[in-house]
């Protein structure tokens, strides 16, 4: 198995939250479990926890973290006043940068801390194309660091095993696993943005994390699939899941999700796409209320089953394997999907009599988006489009149509978009054959449309 993840625990920061009113326990093993649940994590190669392990309050915790495979890193006092200022932070940053240089195969850097100083580390890691995953308590994390992360794992749920460790600091002992399992259940804290109901409790308790990268359609759909499976696995049999409630969960866990990116205008249409050929179906009650249900369960007499989307296909970008349902695809597998044959589940709106012709810029941008989604451009053609000579000969464009995007740094992106001091490339990211590109945007109907159409007919076969 490929281990593509490194985890760094800033215990000096996290342990100070023991006295917090909202969070009373440190959750290293909870973090460890939730990291492994992420689709992008294939395995953990490095785990380090930074603290002064000579202190009595840390000694029992050190024994515990070693049991779950975390390496304790000793932070010694460094001045005469016996006070350490940011020593753990500096040591963590040095180790992360050293790992970046020595092991480029590590793709994910997990930073368990709430300190804002790690926002600078996150930006540097982004410049090298690395994914940054943050972990911290919701109300005690610096907002700049949180926003700099690609994924942020919010720690809300109390960890029982480490709670037992905290209670036994004075005794100098750790409760055995058999006694930990007998602890009373912990109350689940539901974020204020979520409805206070059983479904919310199920999702919060499952450890599902907020995912902000809306451009990664595969990962976003995998997360929604996991949400549906989790809700139906643990729900009470007679409790119904209306899609308006599920939309609230999507808005919370995928805050940047937009159904327009998938070609839909209404959430009901999108949900019909999501559950096609799956163990679940979409039911209509009273002409307005839509809900998700299991196909195998008995339905009400007045329920109307909305038919699946015809000829819907999901195509794995790894081996080209075709699936008829999202729920048949293994977690973590990236894919494209084909919805050409879809039909709306709701009455079509009448088309206006006068339709304004789509501009060349809009048409060409949408065409490249489709070619990216359908993976229509082979590696040879993509390479040609990154040269000025081919772009000039094919389209009359004096600069390369495609520029490879090798970093997520906003500063570098701004520079790459410029040609002679003018912004000449869209900021949107387009993927071809697993690599990211930005695309030339200065197209006109008079100069480029006909040439682009000739090129497209040769390419789009």
Helix H, strand E, coil C: the string for the chain is CCCCEEEEEEHHHHHHHHHCCCCCCCCHHHHHHHHHHCCCCCCEEEEEEEECCCCHHHHHHHHHHHHCCCEEEECCCCCCCCCCCCHHHHHHHHHHHHHHHHCCCCCEEEEECCCCCHHHHHHHHHHCCCEEEEEEEHHHCCHHHHHHCCEEEEECCCCHHHHHHHHCCCCCCCCCHHHHCCCCCCCCCCCCCCCCCHHHHHHHHHCCCEECCCCCHHHHHHHHHHHHHHHHHHCCCCCCEEHHHHHHHHHHHCCCCCHHHHCCCCHHHHHHHHCCCCCEEEEEECCCEEEEEECCCCCCCCCEEECCCCCCEEEECCCCCEECCHHHCCCCCCEEEECCCCCCCCCCCCCCCCCCCCCHHHHHHHHHHHHHHHCCCCHHHHHHHCCHHHHHHHHCCCCCCEEECCCCCHHHHHHHCEECCEECECCCCEEECCEEEEEECCCCCCCCHHHHHHHHHHHCC
Residue 352 within any structural domain of the chain? no
54 vs 58, 59, 139, CA distance in Å? 7, 7, 29
**pLDDT-derived band at 27, boundaries 50, 70, 90:** low
**Residues 44 and 127 reside in one and the same domain:** yes
For residue 90, the domain's CATH number is 3.40.50.1010
Residue 67 has pLDDT above 90, yes or no: no
The tokens describing 22, both together, are 């909202």
Give the chain's end-to-end CA distance (angstroms, integer).
38
CA distances, 133 to each of 51, 153, 171 (Å): 21, 7, 35
d(CA 413, CA 66): 42
User: Does 100 reside within a domain?
Assistant: yes
Q: Name the pTM for this structure.
A: 0.39
pLDDT of residue 43 exceeding 60, the answer is: yes
Domain match, 372 and 304 both: no
Provide the number of structural domains found in the chain.
3
402 contacts: CB under 8 Å, gap ≥ 6: 382, 385, 386, 430, 432, 437, 438, 439, 440
CA-nearest of 430, 414, 448, 4 to 215 is 430
Is there a single domain that holds both residue 313 and residue 420?
A: no
Task: For residue 349, tell me if it sits in a domain.
Answer: no
- Judge if 333 and 368 occupy the same domain: no
pLDDT exceeds 50 at position 339? yes
Task: Give phi and psi for 7, each to the nearest 5.
Answer: -125, 130
Same domain as 68, residue 161: yes
Which residues span the domain enclosing 368? 363-459
Instruction: Please give the pLDDT value at position 357.
Output: 57
User: Tens of pLDDT along 369-389?
Assistant: 988 888 888 999 999 999 999
Contact in structure between 342 and 310 (CB atoms under 8 Å): yes
- What CA–CA distance (Å, rounded) separates 391 from 394? 5
pLDDT of residue 351: 44
Do residues 26 and 153 both lie within one domain? yes
The C-alpha angle with vertex 290 and arms to 289 and 296, in degrees rounded to 5, equals 130
Q: What tokens were used for 345?
A: 């589940």
Of 338, 354, 374, which one is at a domain's C-terminal end?
338
pLDDT band at 343 (very low <50, low <70, confident <90, very high): very low
Predicted confidence band of residue 400 (pLDDT cuts 50, 70, 90): very high
* 323 and 395 share one domain: no
pLDDT tier at 68, thresholds 50, 70, 90: confident
Mean pLDDT, rounded, for 322-333: 88
One domain, residues 30 and 94:
yes
Please indicate, yes or no, whether residues 305 and 397 belong to a single structural domain of this protein: no
Tell me which of 130-134, 146-150, 340-344, 383-387 is least confident. Answer: 340-344
Please report whether residue 386 resides in a domain: yes
**Is residue 367 located within the same domain as residue 333?**
no
Note the pLDDT of residue 259.
87
Same domain, 413 and 326: no
Residue 210 lies in a domain: no
Average pLDDT over residues 95-103: 92
* 346 in a structural domain: no
Going by C-beta distance under 8 Å and a sequence separation of 6 or more, which residues neighbour residue 199? 231, 235, 239, 241, 245, 249
Tell whether 343 is covered by a domain: no
d(CA 176, CA 231): 32
Instruction: Tell me: do 152 and 61 sit in the same domain.
Output: yes
Does a structural domain hold residue 219? no
């Amino acid at each position: 198995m490929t281990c593509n993840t490194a985890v760094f625990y800033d215990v000096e920061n996290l342990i100070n939250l023991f006295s917090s009113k909202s969070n009373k326990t440190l959750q290293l093993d909870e973090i460890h479990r939730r990291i492994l649940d992420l689709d992008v994590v294939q395995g953990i190669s490095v785990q380090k926890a930074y603290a002064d392990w000579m202190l009595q309050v840390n000694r029992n915790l050190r024994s515990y973290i070693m049991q779950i495979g975390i390496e304790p890193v000793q932070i010694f006092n460094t001045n005469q006043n016996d006070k350490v200022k940011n020593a753990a932070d500096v040591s963590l940053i040095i180790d992360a940068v050293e790992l970046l240089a020595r092991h480029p195969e590590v793709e994910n850097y997990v930073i368990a801390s709430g300190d804002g100083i790690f926002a600078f580390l996150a930006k540097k890691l982004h410049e090298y194309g690395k994914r940054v995953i943050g972990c911290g308590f919701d109300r005690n994390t610096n907002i700049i660091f949180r926003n700099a992360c690609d994924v942020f794992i919010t720690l809300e749920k109390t960890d029982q095993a480490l709670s037992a460790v905290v209670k036994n600091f004075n005794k100098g002992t750790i409760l055995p696993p058999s006694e930990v399992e007998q602890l009373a259940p912990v109350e689940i804290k539901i974020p204020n943005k979520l409805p206070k109901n059983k479904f919310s409790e199920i999702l919060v308790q499952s450890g599902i994390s907020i995912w902000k990268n809306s451009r990664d359609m595969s990962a976003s759909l995998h997360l929604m699939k996991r949400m549906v499976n989790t809700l139906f696995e643990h729900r009470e049999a007679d409790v119904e899941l209306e899609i308006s409630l599920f939309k609230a969960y999507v808005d919370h866990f995928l805050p940047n999700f937009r159904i327009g990116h998938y070609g839909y205008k209404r959430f009901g249409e999108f949900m019909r796409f999501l559950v096609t050929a799956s163990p679940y179906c979409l039911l209509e009650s009273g002409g307005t209320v839509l809900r998700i249900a299991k196909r195998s369960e008995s339905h009400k007499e007045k329920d109307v089953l909305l038919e699946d989307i015809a000829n819907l296909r999901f195509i794995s970008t790894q081996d080209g394997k075709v699936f008829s349902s999202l729920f048949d695809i293994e977690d973590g597998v990236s894919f494209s999907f084909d919805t050409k044959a879809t039909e709306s589940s709701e009455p079509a709106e009448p088309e206006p009599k006068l339709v304004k012709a789509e501009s060349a810029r809009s048409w060409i941008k949408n065409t490249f988006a489709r070619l990216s989604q359908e993976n229509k451009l082979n590696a040879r053609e993509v390479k040609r489009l990154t040269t000025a000579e081919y772009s000039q000969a094919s389209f009359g464009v004096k600069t390369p149509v495609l520029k490879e995007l090798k970093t997520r740094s906003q500063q570098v992106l701004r520079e790459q978009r410029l040609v002679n001091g003018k912004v000449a490339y869209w900021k949107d990211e387009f993927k071809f054959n697993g690599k990211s590109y930005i695309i030339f945007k200065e197209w006109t109907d008079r100069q480029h449309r006909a040439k682009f159409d000739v090129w497209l007919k040769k390419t789009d076969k």
